Chains A and B, each alone.
Chain A
Amino acid sequence: MSHSAHVLRRAARSIWENLYLHSVSVGVIASALLLVGVFLSVQFNLNRMVTDWTRDVHVSAYFLPDVPEQRRFAIRERLAKDPRVAKVVYVSEEEAQDWLIARVEGVSTALAELGPGVLPASVEITLVDGAVAAPNSFVDLLPADEFSDVDMGQDWVARFNEFLRTLQLLGALLGVIITATALFVVSNTVNLVIYSRRDEVEIEKLVGASTSFIIAPFLIEGAIQGVAGGVLAVGGLWSVHAVLVHRLQNSIQIGVANEMVFLPPTWIGLLVAAGLVLGLGASTLSVTRFLSRAA
Protein backbone atom coordinates (compact mmCIF):
# COMPACT_ATOMS: atom_id res chain seq x y z
CA MET A 1 0.00 0.00 0.00
CA SER A 2 2.76 2.38 1.04
CA HIS A 3 4.82 1.33 -1.97
CA SER A 4 1.89 2.13 -4.26
CA ALA A 5 1.42 5.51 -2.60
CA HIS A 6 5.10 6.39 -3.16
CA VAL A 7 4.93 5.23 -6.77
CA LEU A 8 1.72 7.16 -7.50
CA ARG A 9 3.16 10.30 -5.89
CA ARG A 10 6.31 10.02 -7.98
CA ALA A 11 4.31 9.50 -11.16
CA ALA A 12 2.11 12.53 -10.42
CA ARG A 13 5.14 14.61 -9.62
CA SER A 14 6.92 13.58 -12.80
CA ILE A 15 3.87 14.49 -14.89
CA TRP A 16 3.81 17.90 -13.23
CA GLU A 17 7.56 18.45 -13.67
CA ASN A 18 7.55 17.33 -17.31
CA LEU A 19 4.19 18.77 -18.28
CA TYR A 20 5.33 19.88 -21.72
CA LEU A 21 6.77 16.50 -22.71
CA HIS A 22 3.72 14.68 -21.36
CA SER A 23 1.44 17.06 -23.27
CA VAL A 24 3.34 16.26 -26.47
CA SER A 25 2.85 12.52 -25.84
CA VAL A 26 -0.86 12.98 -25.10
CA GLY A 27 -1.19 15.10 -28.25
CA VAL A 28 0.53 12.49 -30.42
CA ILE A 29 -1.59 9.66 -29.01
CA ALA A 30 -4.77 11.73 -29.40
CA SER A 31 -3.92 12.65 -33.01
CA ALA A 32 -3.10 9.06 -33.94
CA LEU A 33 -6.27 7.72 -32.33
CA LEU A 34 -8.35 10.51 -33.87
CA LEU A 35 -7.16 9.48 -37.34
CA VAL A 36 -7.89 5.84 -36.57
CA GLY A 37 -11.24 6.86 -35.05
CA VAL A 38 -12.28 8.87 -38.12
CA PHE A 39 -11.42 5.92 -40.30
CA LEU A 40 -13.31 3.52 -38.03
CA SER A 41 -16.27 5.86 -37.95
CA VAL A 42 -16.44 6.08 -41.76
CA GLN A 43 -16.15 2.33 -42.03
CA PHE A 44 -18.70 1.71 -39.31
CA ASN A 45 -21.25 3.97 -40.99
CA LEU A 46 -20.64 2.52 -44.45
CA ASN A 47 -21.00 -1.00 -43.07
CA ARG A 48 -24.20 0.00 -41.39
CA MET A 49 -25.62 1.55 -44.55
CA VAL A 50 -24.73 -1.49 -46.63
CA THR A 51 -26.38 -3.74 -44.08
CA ASP A 52 -29.54 -1.62 -44.27
CA TRP A 53 -29.42 -1.55 -48.03
CA THR A 54 -28.88 -5.30 -48.23
CA ARG A 55 -31.94 -5.76 -46.06
CA ASP A 56 -33.91 -3.50 -48.41
CA VAL A 57 -32.84 -5.27 -51.60
CA HIS A 58 -35.69 -5.57 -54.02
CA VAL A 59 -36.01 -6.89 -57.50
CA SER A 60 -37.17 -4.60 -60.32
CA ALA A 61 -38.63 -6.46 -63.32
CA TYR A 62 -39.40 -4.41 -66.46
CA PHE A 63 -42.27 -5.61 -68.68
CA LEU A 64 -41.94 -5.93 -72.42
CA PRO A 65 -44.19 -3.24 -74.00
CA ASP A 66 -46.47 -5.81 -75.69
CA VAL A 67 -47.49 -7.58 -72.48
CA PRO A 68 -51.16 -6.62 -71.88
CA GLU A 69 -52.10 -4.90 -68.66
CA GLN A 70 -54.34 -7.80 -67.51
CA ARG A 71 -51.41 -10.19 -67.85
CA ARG A 72 -49.21 -7.79 -65.88
CA PHE A 73 -51.75 -7.72 -63.00
CA ALA A 74 -51.94 -11.51 -63.07
CA ILE A 75 -48.18 -11.75 -62.77
CA ARG A 76 -48.29 -9.27 -59.88
CA GLU A 77 -50.89 -11.45 -58.10
CA ARG A 78 -48.85 -14.59 -58.69
CA LEU A 79 -45.74 -12.93 -57.29
CA ALA A 80 -47.62 -11.61 -54.23
CA LYS A 81 -48.63 -15.16 -53.31
CA ASP A 82 -45.05 -16.41 -53.31
CA PRO A 83 -43.83 -16.95 -49.69
CA ARG A 84 -40.46 -15.33 -50.49
CA VAL A 85 -42.11 -12.08 -51.46
CA ALA A 86 -42.96 -9.45 -48.84
CA LYS A 87 -44.50 -6.86 -51.13
CA VAL A 88 -45.16 -6.29 -54.85
CA VAL A 89 -45.89 -2.88 -56.37
CA TYR A 90 -46.93 -2.48 -59.98
CA VAL A 91 -45.51 0.69 -61.58
CA SER A 92 -47.19 1.70 -64.86
CA GLU A 93 -45.40 3.61 -67.67
CA GLU A 94 -47.18 6.82 -66.58
CA GLU A 95 -46.23 6.36 -62.92
CA ALA A 96 -42.62 5.71 -63.88
CA GLN A 97 -42.58 8.86 -65.96
CA ASP A 98 -44.20 10.96 -63.18
CA TRP A 99 -41.64 9.57 -60.72
CA LEU A 100 -38.77 10.61 -62.99
CA ILE A 101 -40.20 14.08 -63.68
CA ALA A 102 -40.67 14.67 -59.95
CA ARG A 103 -37.01 13.84 -59.23
CA VAL A 104 -35.10 15.12 -62.24
CA GLU A 105 -35.58 18.77 -63.00
CA GLY A 106 -36.03 19.67 -66.69
CA VAL A 107 -36.52 16.10 -67.89
CA SER A 108 -40.25 16.62 -68.64
CA THR A 109 -39.58 18.47 -71.93
CA ALA A 110 -37.30 15.70 -73.19
CA LEU A 111 -39.82 13.03 -72.19
CA ALA A 112 -42.62 14.93 -73.96
CA GLU A 113 -40.54 15.01 -77.16
CA LEU A 114 -39.84 11.28 -76.97
CA GLY A 115 -43.57 10.49 -76.61
CA PRO A 116 -45.36 7.92 -74.40
CA GLY A 117 -43.93 4.58 -73.43
CA VAL A 118 -40.32 5.67 -73.02
CA LEU A 119 -40.10 4.18 -69.56
CA PRO A 120 -41.35 0.60 -69.27
CA ALA A 121 -43.92 -0.58 -66.73
CA SER A 122 -42.44 -2.70 -63.97
CA VAL A 123 -43.05 -4.68 -60.80
CA GLU A 124 -41.01 -3.72 -57.72
CA ILE A 125 -40.67 -6.83 -55.56
CA THR A 126 -39.57 -6.53 -51.95
CA LEU A 127 -38.27 -9.81 -50.59
CA VAL A 128 -38.75 -11.31 -47.13
CA ASP A 129 -35.56 -11.26 -44.99
CA GLY A 130 -34.69 -14.92 -45.57
CA ALA A 131 -34.89 -14.58 -49.35
CA VAL A 132 -32.57 -11.56 -49.61
CA ALA A 133 -29.50 -13.76 -49.75
CA ALA A 134 -30.60 -15.45 -52.99
CA PRO A 135 -32.66 -13.06 -55.13
CA ASN A 136 -31.54 -14.89 -58.30
CA SER A 137 -33.87 -17.76 -57.39
CA PHE A 138 -36.74 -15.53 -58.62
CA VAL A 139 -35.77 -15.90 -62.23
CA ASP A 140 -38.25 -18.75 -62.60
CA LEU A 141 -41.10 -16.40 -61.61
CA LEU A 142 -40.08 -13.81 -64.22
CA PRO A 143 -40.21 -15.45 -67.69
CA ALA A 144 -38.03 -13.90 -70.38
CA ASP A 145 -40.90 -13.59 -72.88
CA GLU A 146 -42.73 -11.14 -70.61
CA PHE A 147 -39.86 -9.10 -69.14
CA SER A 148 -37.26 -7.05 -70.99
CA ASP A 149 -34.92 -6.74 -68.04
CA VAL A 150 -34.67 -7.89 -64.43
CA ASP A 151 -32.57 -5.89 -61.98
CA MET A 152 -31.70 -8.10 -59.02
CA GLY A 153 -30.61 -5.02 -57.09
CA GLN A 154 -27.69 -6.83 -55.53
CA ASP A 155 -24.88 -6.35 -57.98
CA TRP A 156 -24.01 -2.89 -56.77
CA VAL A 157 -24.25 -4.01 -53.12
CA ALA A 158 -21.70 -6.73 -53.93
CA ARG A 159 -19.48 -4.15 -55.61
CA PHE A 160 -19.86 -1.85 -52.62
CA ASN A 161 -18.96 -4.71 -50.29
CA GLU A 162 -15.86 -5.30 -52.37
CA PHE A 163 -15.00 -1.62 -51.97
CA LEU A 164 -15.55 -1.89 -48.22
CA ARG A 165 -13.19 -4.86 -48.00
CA THR A 166 -10.51 -2.83 -49.79
CA LEU A 167 -11.24 0.03 -47.42
CA GLN A 168 -10.83 -2.32 -44.45
CA LEU A 169 -7.48 -3.50 -45.77
CA LEU A 170 -6.33 0.07 -46.27
CA GLY A 171 -7.62 0.90 -42.79
CA ALA A 172 -5.63 -1.93 -41.22
CA LEU A 173 -2.51 -0.80 -43.07
CA LEU A 174 -3.10 2.82 -42.08
CA GLY A 175 -3.72 1.72 -38.48
CA VAL A 176 -0.43 -0.16 -38.35
CA ILE A 177 1.50 2.79 -39.81
CA ILE A 178 -0.18 5.32 -37.50
CA THR A 179 0.29 3.10 -34.43
CA ALA A 180 3.96 2.45 -35.23
CA THR A 181 4.57 6.17 -35.80
CA ALA A 182 2.78 7.11 -32.58
CA LEU A 183 4.67 4.41 -30.66
CA PHE A 184 7.96 5.74 -32.02
CA VAL A 185 7.18 9.39 -31.20
CA VAL A 186 5.72 8.65 -27.76
CA SER A 187 8.54 6.29 -26.77
CA ASN A 188 11.02 9.00 -27.72
CA THR A 189 9.25 11.63 -25.64
CA VAL A 190 9.20 9.13 -22.76
CA ASN A 191 12.93 8.70 -23.40
CA LEU A 192 13.38 12.42 -22.83
CA VAL A 193 11.47 12.19 -19.54
CA ILE A 194 13.63 9.25 -18.44
CA TYR A 195 16.77 11.05 -19.56
CA SER A 196 15.81 14.10 -17.47
CA ARG A 197 15.47 11.76 -14.47
CA ARG A 198 18.44 9.48 -15.09
CA ASP A 199 20.30 10.81 -12.03
CA GLU A 200 17.26 10.00 -9.92
CA VAL A 201 17.04 6.47 -11.34
CA GLU A 202 20.76 5.93 -10.68
CA ILE A 203 20.36 7.04 -7.05
CA GLU A 204 17.22 4.92 -6.63
CA LYS A 205 19.23 1.89 -7.75
CA LEU A 206 22.01 2.80 -5.31
CA VAL A 207 19.63 2.85 -2.36
CA GLY A 208 18.26 -0.56 -3.33
CA ALA A 209 15.14 0.23 -5.31
CA SER A 210 13.70 -2.79 -7.07
CA THR A 211 13.20 -2.71 -10.83
CA SER A 212 9.43 -2.52 -10.33
CA PHE A 213 9.85 0.46 -7.99
CA ILE A 214 11.91 2.24 -10.66
CA ILE A 215 9.76 1.48 -13.69
CA ALA A 216 6.29 1.65 -12.11
CA PRO A 217 6.01 5.48 -12.18
CA PHE A 218 7.02 5.54 -15.86
CA LEU A 219 4.41 2.92 -16.69
CA ILE A 220 1.74 4.80 -14.73
CA GLU A 221 2.69 8.00 -16.59
CA GLY A 222 2.43 6.11 -19.89
CA ALA A 223 -0.95 4.68 -18.96
CA ILE A 224 -2.27 8.10 -17.91
CA GLN A 225 -0.97 9.65 -21.14
CA GLY A 226 -2.58 6.89 -23.17
CA VAL A 227 -5.98 7.17 -21.51
CA ALA A 228 -5.86 10.99 -21.71
CA GLY A 229 -4.94 10.73 -25.40
CA GLY A 230 -7.79 8.26 -25.95
CA VAL A 231 -10.34 10.46 -24.21
CA LEU A 232 -9.15 13.51 -26.18
CA ALA A 233 -9.40 11.51 -29.40
CA VAL A 234 -12.99 10.52 -28.57
CA GLY A 235 -13.80 14.17 -27.85
CA GLY A 236 -12.22 15.19 -31.15
CA LEU A 237 -14.05 12.44 -32.97
CA TRP A 238 -17.34 13.59 -31.51
CA SER A 239 -16.62 17.15 -32.70
CA VAL A 240 -15.69 15.91 -36.20
CA HIS A 241 -18.86 13.82 -36.29
CA ALA A 242 -21.06 16.72 -35.17
CA VAL A 243 -19.50 19.13 -37.69
CA LEU A 244 -19.71 16.59 -40.52
CA VAL A 245 -23.37 15.75 -39.86
CA HIS A 246 -24.19 19.48 -39.66
CA ARG A 247 -22.35 20.26 -42.93
CA LEU A 248 -23.93 17.32 -44.77
CA GLN A 249 -27.38 18.29 -43.57
CA ASN A 250 -26.88 21.80 -44.89
CA SER A 251 -25.19 20.99 -48.16
CA ILE A 252 -26.91 17.94 -49.63
CA GLN A 253 -30.51 16.90 -49.53
CA ILE A 254 -30.01 13.23 -49.03
CA GLY A 255 -30.70 11.10 -46.01
CA VAL A 256 -27.04 10.14 -45.52
CA ALA A 257 -26.43 12.81 -42.87
CA ASN A 258 -29.39 11.60 -40.83
CA GLU A 259 -28.26 8.01 -41.14
CA MET A 260 -24.76 8.75 -39.83
CA VAL A 261 -24.30 7.64 -36.22
CA PHE A 262 -21.46 8.07 -33.72
CA LEU A 263 -19.37 5.04 -32.84
CA PRO A 264 -21.08 2.69 -30.31
CA PRO A 265 -19.79 2.62 -26.67
CA THR A 266 -17.86 -0.62 -27.22
CA TRP A 267 -15.85 0.94 -30.03
CA ILE A 268 -15.26 4.09 -27.94
CA GLY A 269 -14.05 1.88 -25.10
CA LEU A 270 -11.73 0.07 -27.52
CA LEU A 271 -10.34 3.39 -28.77
CA VAL A 272 -9.53 4.51 -25.20
CA ALA A 273 -8.11 1.05 -24.46
CA ALA A 274 -5.93 1.39 -27.58
CA GLY A 275 -4.64 4.67 -26.10
CA LEU A 276 -3.86 2.89 -22.85
CA VAL A 277 -2.00 0.12 -24.68
CA LEU A 278 -0.13 2.68 -26.81
CA GLY A 279 0.97 4.78 -23.81
CA LEU A 280 1.86 1.75 -21.74
CA GLY A 281 3.66 0.10 -24.67
CA ALA A 282 5.73 3.19 -25.44
CA SER A 283 6.71 3.59 -21.77
CA THR A 284 7.59 -0.09 -21.40
CA LEU A 285 9.69 0.06 -24.55
CA SER A 286 11.60 3.14 -23.41
CA VAL A 287 12.12 2.20 -19.78
CA THR A 288 13.28 -1.37 -20.51
CA ARG A 289 15.65 -0.03 -23.18
CA PHE A 290 16.98 2.54 -20.69
CA LEU A 291 17.44 0.02 -17.88
CA SER A 292 19.18 -2.50 -20.14
CA ARG A 293 21.59 0.22 -21.27
CA ALA A 294 22.12 1.41 -17.67
CA ALA A 295 22.76 -2.11 -16.34
Chain B
Amino acid sequence: MIRLYRVSKEYAGVGALIDVSVHVTKGEFCYISGPSGAGKSTLLKLLYGAIKPTRGKLLINNIDMGPAKDRDIAHLRRHMGVVFQDFKLIPRRTVAENVGLALEVLGTPREVIGRRVAAVLSIVGLRGRGDELPLSLSGGEQQRVAVARAIVNDPAVILADEPTGNLDGAMAIEVMEVLQAVNLRGTTVMVATHDAGLMQRFPYRTLRFRAGRLEAS
Protein backbone atom coordinates (compact mmCIF):
# COMPACT_ATOMS: atom_id res chain seq x y z
CA MET B 1 0.00 0.00 0.00
CA ILE B 2 2.52 2.61 1.20
CA ARG B 3 6.28 2.03 0.97
CA LEU B 4 9.11 4.41 1.77
CA TYR B 5 12.68 3.43 0.86
CA ARG B 6 15.28 5.65 2.53
CA VAL B 7 13.21 8.78 1.95
CA SER B 8 14.63 12.18 2.85
CA LYS B 9 13.13 15.60 2.50
CA GLU B 10 15.19 18.75 2.84
CA TYR B 11 14.16 22.39 2.96
CA ALA B 12 17.02 24.69 1.94
CA GLY B 13 19.53 22.00 2.86
CA VAL B 14 17.97 21.31 6.27
CA GLY B 15 16.63 17.77 6.70
CA ALA B 16 12.97 17.67 7.72
CA LEU B 17 12.83 13.92 7.15
CA ILE B 18 15.98 11.83 7.08
CA ASP B 19 16.47 8.39 5.58
CA VAL B 20 13.04 6.99 6.44
CA SER B 21 12.02 3.47 5.39
CA VAL B 22 8.51 2.30 6.27
CA HIS B 23 5.92 -0.13 4.97
CA VAL B 24 2.23 0.35 5.77
CA THR B 25 -0.04 -2.46 4.62
CA LYS B 26 -3.56 -2.24 3.25
CA GLY B 27 -6.20 -1.88 5.96
CA GLU B 28 -3.69 -0.91 8.64
CA PHE B 29 -4.28 1.81 11.26
CA CYS B 30 -1.12 3.55 12.37
CA TYR B 31 -0.03 6.68 14.15
CA ILE B 32 2.74 9.03 13.15
CA SER B 33 3.91 10.56 16.40
CA GLY B 34 6.65 12.72 17.78
CA PRO B 35 7.21 16.22 19.14
CA SER B 36 6.79 19.39 17.07
CA GLY B 37 9.32 19.50 14.23
CA ALA B 38 9.79 15.72 14.27
CA GLY B 39 8.68 15.44 10.63
CA LYS B 40 5.09 14.19 11.05
CA SER B 41 3.50 16.81 8.80
CA THR B 42 6.33 16.52 6.27
CA LEU B 43 5.67 12.80 5.97
CA LEU B 44 1.94 13.39 5.47
CA LYS B 45 2.63 16.06 2.84
CA LEU B 46 4.84 13.58 1.01
CA LEU B 47 2.08 11.00 1.21
CA TYR B 48 -0.61 13.21 -0.32
CA GLY B 49 1.76 14.60 -2.92
CA ALA B 50 1.99 18.22 -1.74
CA ILE B 51 5.79 17.90 -1.78
CA LYS B 52 8.26 15.50 -3.38
CA PRO B 53 11.06 13.61 -1.65
CA THR B 54 14.57 15.03 -2.00
CA ARG B 55 16.01 11.50 -1.97
CA GLY B 56 14.71 7.94 -1.79
CA LYS B 57 11.61 6.30 -3.20
CA LEU B 58 8.01 6.66 -2.06
CA LEU B 59 5.44 4.29 -3.51
CA ILE B 60 1.70 4.59 -2.94
CA ASN B 61 -0.37 1.90 -4.61
CA ASN B 62 2.76 1.22 -6.70
CA ILE B 63 2.82 4.83 -7.96
CA ASP B 64 6.27 6.39 -7.54
CA MET B 65 5.51 9.80 -6.04
CA GLY B 66 8.93 11.24 -6.95
CA PRO B 67 8.48 11.58 -10.70
CA ALA B 68 4.65 11.60 -10.51
CA LYS B 69 3.03 14.35 -12.57
CA ASP B 70 0.28 16.69 -11.31
CA ARG B 71 -2.41 14.63 -13.02
CA ASP B 72 -1.10 11.40 -11.40
CA ILE B 73 -1.21 13.07 -7.99
CA ALA B 74 -4.73 14.40 -8.65
CA HIS B 75 -5.78 10.89 -9.65
CA LEU B 76 -4.21 9.42 -6.50
CA ARG B 77 -5.94 11.97 -4.26
CA ARG B 78 -9.32 10.87 -5.61
CA HIS B 79 -8.69 7.58 -3.79
CA MET B 80 -7.35 9.23 -0.68
CA GLY B 81 -9.01 11.18 2.13
CA VAL B 82 -7.13 13.91 3.90
CA VAL B 83 -8.16 15.43 7.26
CA PHE B 84 -6.48 18.51 8.70
CA GLN B 85 -6.28 20.05 12.15
CA ASP B 86 -7.86 23.27 10.78
CA PHE B 87 -10.62 21.28 8.99
CA LYS B 88 -10.16 23.04 5.61
CA LEU B 89 -13.85 23.48 4.93
CA ILE B 90 -15.23 26.05 2.49
CA PRO B 91 -17.15 28.49 4.71
CA ARG B 92 -19.52 29.65 1.93
CA ARG B 93 -20.62 26.11 1.11
CA THR B 94 -23.06 24.08 3.15
CA VAL B 95 -21.98 20.98 5.03
CA ALA B 96 -23.47 18.77 2.29
CA GLU B 97 -21.70 20.74 -0.45
CA ASN B 98 -18.37 20.51 1.37
CA VAL B 99 -18.73 16.76 1.73
CA GLY B 100 -20.02 16.34 -1.82
CA LEU B 101 -17.00 18.13 -3.32
CA ALA B 102 -14.94 14.94 -3.17
CA LEU B 103 -17.58 13.26 -5.35
CA GLU B 104 -18.03 16.23 -7.68
CA VAL B 105 -14.41 15.95 -8.82
CA LEU B 106 -15.13 12.33 -9.75
CA GLY B 107 -18.04 13.47 -11.92
CA THR B 108 -20.60 11.64 -9.78
CA PRO B 109 -24.21 12.52 -10.71
CA ARG B 110 -25.94 14.98 -8.39
CA GLU B 111 -28.58 12.51 -7.17
CA VAL B 112 -25.93 9.96 -6.22
CA ILE B 113 -23.95 12.67 -4.41
CA GLY B 114 -27.07 13.57 -2.42
CA ARG B 115 -27.60 9.98 -1.32
CA ARG B 116 -23.95 9.30 -0.48
CA VAL B 117 -23.54 12.56 1.43
CA ALA B 118 -26.65 11.87 3.52
CA ALA B 119 -25.35 8.36 4.34
CA VAL B 120 -21.89 9.60 5.32
CA LEU B 121 -23.29 12.43 7.45
CA SER B 122 -25.25 9.76 9.31
CA ILE B 123 -22.08 7.77 9.93
CA VAL B 124 -20.31 10.80 11.45
CA GLY B 125 -23.37 11.70 13.54
CA LEU B 126 -24.49 14.74 11.55
CA ARG B 127 -27.71 13.43 10.07
CA GLY B 128 -29.97 16.31 8.98
CA ARG B 129 -27.25 18.95 9.32
CA GLY B 130 -26.35 19.05 5.62
CA ASP B 131 -27.90 22.43 4.92
CA GLU B 132 -25.99 24.24 7.66
CA LEU B 133 -22.86 26.27 7.05
CA PRO B 134 -19.62 24.98 8.63
CA LEU B 135 -19.14 28.06 10.79
CA SER B 136 -22.45 27.41 12.53
CA LEU B 137 -21.09 24.06 13.81
CA SER B 138 -18.83 23.35 16.80
CA GLY B 139 -15.16 22.45 16.28
CA GLY B 140 -15.84 18.74 16.75
CA GLU B 141 -18.73 18.86 14.30
CA GLN B 142 -16.60 20.68 11.73
CA GLN B 143 -13.92 18.04 12.08
CA ARG B 144 -16.56 15.34 11.58
CA VAL B 145 -17.60 17.13 8.37
CA ALA B 146 -13.95 17.01 7.28
CA VAL B 147 -13.86 13.28 8.08
CA ALA B 148 -17.13 12.80 6.18
CA ARG B 149 -15.57 14.51 3.14
CA ALA B 150 -12.51 12.27 3.49
CA ILE B 151 -14.54 9.05 3.53
CA VAL B 152 -17.42 9.89 1.18
CA ASN B 153 -15.63 8.46 -1.89
CA ASP B 154 -14.62 5.22 -0.12
CA PRO B 155 -10.90 6.00 -0.27
CA ALA B 156 -8.21 3.35 0.02
CA VAL B 157 -6.32 5.46 2.51
CA ILE B 158 -7.09 8.27 4.95
CA LEU B 159 -4.36 10.64 6.10
CA ALA B 160 -5.16 12.75 9.13
CA ASP B 161 -2.87 15.53 10.31
CA GLU B 162 -3.54 16.23 14.01
CA PRO B 163 -7.28 15.69 13.46
CA THR B 164 -8.01 16.10 17.16
CA GLY B 165 -5.57 18.93 17.80
CA ASN B 166 -8.27 21.61 18.05
CA LEU B 167 -10.83 19.48 19.88
CA ASP B 168 -11.57 18.82 23.53
CA GLY B 169 -11.38 15.28 24.95
CA ALA B 170 -14.91 14.10 24.19
CA MET B 171 -14.93 15.50 20.66
CA ALA B 172 -11.48 14.02 19.98
CA ILE B 173 -12.78 10.59 20.99
CA GLU B 174 -15.81 11.00 18.70
CA VAL B 175 -13.58 11.76 15.74
CA MET B 176 -11.24 8.85 16.55
CA GLU B 177 -14.20 6.50 16.78
CA VAL B 178 -15.30 7.55 13.31
CA LEU B 179 -11.78 6.95 11.93
CA GLN B 180 -11.67 3.58 13.70
CA ALA B 181 -15.01 2.63 12.14
CA VAL B 182 -13.74 3.58 8.70
CA ASN B 183 -10.61 1.47 9.28
CA LEU B 184 -12.75 -1.51 10.26
CA ARG B 185 -14.29 -1.31 6.77
CA GLY B 186 -10.82 -1.91 5.27
CA THR B 187 -9.48 1.60 4.76
CA THR B 188 -5.84 2.28 5.63
CA VAL B 189 -5.71 5.11 8.18
CA MET B 190 -2.61 7.10 9.14
CA VAL B 191 -3.00 9.66 11.90
CA ALA B 192 -0.31 12.18 12.79
CA THR B 193 -0.66 13.11 16.46
CA HIS B 194 1.36 13.83 19.58
CA ASP B 195 -1.57 13.09 21.89
CA ALA B 196 -0.28 10.20 24.01
CA GLY B 197 -3.63 9.77 25.76
CA LEU B 198 -5.39 9.21 22.48
CA MET B 199 -2.80 6.65 21.39
CA GLN B 200 -3.28 4.82 24.67
CA ARG B 201 -7.05 4.80 24.36
CA PHE B 202 -6.93 3.65 20.73
CA PRO B 203 -3.77 1.51 20.60
CA TYR B 204 -2.32 0.88 17.12
CA ARG B 205 1.10 0.65 15.53
CA THR B 206 3.03 3.89 16.05
CA LEU B 207 5.72 5.36 13.80
CA ARG B 208 7.68 7.48 16.24
CA PHE B 209 9.77 10.34 14.82
CA ARG B 210 12.36 12.64 16.34
CA ALA B 211 14.24 15.38 14.49
CA GLY B 212 13.20 13.94 11.14
CA ARG B 213 14.37 10.39 11.89
CA LEU B 214 12.18 7.34 12.45
CA GLU B 215 12.96 6.20 16.00
CA ALA B 216 10.55 3.33 16.39
CA SER B 217 8.07 1.55 14.20
- Using a CB–CB distance below 8 Å, which chain A residues touch chain B? 2-3, 5-6, 17, 199-200, 202-211, 213, 295
Contact = CB atoms under 8 A, between A and B. Distances in A.
A202 B87 CA distance: 13
Given A2-B110, A5-B110, A295-B70, A207 B92 contact: no
A207 B90 contact: no
B105 interface: yes
A200 B71 contact: no
A207 B151 CA distance: 11
B127 interface: no
A207 B105 contact: yes
Interface residues of B, number: 27
A211 B107 CA distance: 14
A210 B88 contact: no
Interface of B: 48, 70-71, 74-80, 82, 88-93, 101-102, 104-110, 149
B110 A209 contact: no
Where chain A touches its partner, the secondary structure class is helix
B90 A200 contact: yes
A208 B75 contact: yes
Contacts of A204: 101, 105
Given A199-B88, A208-B102, A208-B105, 5 more contacts: A6-B107, A202-B88, A206-B77, A207-B77, A208-B106
Contacts of B108: 2
B86 to A, nearest CB: 11
Contact of B102 (A3, A202, A207): A207
A17 B80 CA distance: 30
6 contacts: A203-B101, A205-B74, A208-B74, A208-B75, A211-B74, A295-B70
A216 to B, nearest CB: 12
Contacts of A199: 88, 90-91
Contacts, number: 56
Contact of B80 (A2, A5, A208, A213): A208
B76 A208 contact: yes
Residue among B74, B93, B106, B110 facing the most chain A CB atoms (10 A cut-off): B74
Contacts of A200: 90, 92-93
Residue among B70, B79, B89, B91 facing the most chain A CB atoms (10 A cut-off): B70
A295 B49 CA distance: 11
Contacts of A210: 71, 74, 105
Contacts of B91: 199
Residue among A6, A199, A202, A295 facing the most chain B CB atoms (10 A cut-off): A6
Contacts of A203: 88-90, 101
B82 A206 contact: yes
Residue among A17, A205, A206 facing the most chain B CB atoms (10 A cut-off): A206
Residue among A199, A202, A207, A213 facing the most chain B CB atoms (10 A cut-off): A207
Contacts of A2: 107-110
A202 B86 CA distance: 13
A207 to B, nearest CB: 4
Contacts of B104: 6
B92 A206 contact: no
Contacts of B76: 208
Contact of B71 (A17, A211, A295): A211
The 6 closest A-B pairs by CB, nearest first: A208-B77, A208-B78, A3-B107, A209-B105, A207-B102, A2-B107
Contacts of B88: 199, 202-203, 206
Contacts of B82: 206-207
Contacts of A213: 105
A109 B143 CA distance: 100
Nearest to A199: B90
A85 B164 CA distance: 98
Nearest to B50: A206
